[in-house]
Structure 1
Amino acid sequence: MDMDALIDEICRRVQQKIQALENRTEDTKPAILILTPDHGTACHEMLEDEKLAECYRTECALLKEYQCSPADYEAVVAYGMSNESLGKIAYGIFDSGYTRLFGQSILAGKKIYLVEEEIELYRYKDTAPKAYYGCLEASLEMLKNSGVTIASQSQIPDLILHGEPEEGVEPEGPSKDCEVPKKDESCVKEAVLDKRVITEKDMIDLGNNRVRKVTVGEKAILTDLAREYASKHRIAVLRRGTSSGKGHNL
């Protein structure tokens, strides 16, 4: 084998290894399910969002012929909410792949983001009789009360990555007029996670093991649901510094 051929072969093998590593990294990312009732182009923006792709895999339920389980996804982004689908989902009628996966995702407690521009009911806000519109709107409110977040398509990637701001909630802290007794941290169970992307499942595993303090890498990414779980279950998350080795609260 001459020198040029040898160099080409080495480059080919290196490229194969790089591709294998990239594929392995992609497979370990948590997944977001894009749910649509039919073919269209509106969802392509979400499927191809670069910031979202850094932390998540996005998969199309329609391309999978709806043969997928909400348990395999961290969240669902739904398009194409017709009035017919809204009524069926609200009353537990799951007679299509779309309504079945939407309903199963609610029942499984998954975070669902419904694209505001894709809600048919809103098109009739200025023309429908108030009583009839209110009846259909009540079904939408029921979905919201069941954990569905309605937002514009442009906002959803940031909501997934950074969470929803809490309105009217001030940061917690000690009062100036009183002293807060220090907790005995000698028996607090701690853990270290070296993963690049920390998911809700990771936090659930820590919670099941009664871990109350976890240290993550300086550049680790916490998903929205991981943050919510940690906050709800009082798991302190610290980010490890690269120089001093000391951590600071996330």
Structure 2
Amino acid sequence: MLLAGKKVYVLESGLEYRKYKSTAPRALYNKYLSFEKDLEVYGIDVIEFLEKVEEKNTRKEEHKRVEEVSTLESLSSIPEEEMSFEIRNKRLISEADLRKPFMNGMKSVVIDKKSIITPLANDFIRIHNLKVKRV
């Protein structure tokens, strides 16, 4: 789950070794404590109640909503002319040439009249509704 980018939580009540603090050998108990600290270093959070996870999730969702709104506002303030890019120095336009600028928010492409667009690039243009202007 950690490698997939998902957050992992452990309930304190699930840590059995804590119940035996008074009877366990000190070296063994300290070893378990170090294991717990290693888990925290890897990104696993130890929580008391499930409600704390829900509180964290609602805070993150609110923060994401605020970021999305501010991103949309900043994008809407940019005129359409600024959302285009030029590939005039290339004779052959591939899908890779279009993908990176598209991921950065570009919606139109200016290419040379003699440029050749590969079939895969044509599909990319059609699927993502890019505007192509030949100059």
Q: Say which one has the larger Rg.
A: 2
Q: Name the TM tier (shorter chain).
A: 0.3 to 0.5
The answer to which structure has the higher helix fraction is: 2
Higher relative contact order (CA 8 A, sep 6+): 2
Normalising by structure 1, what TM-score? 0.23
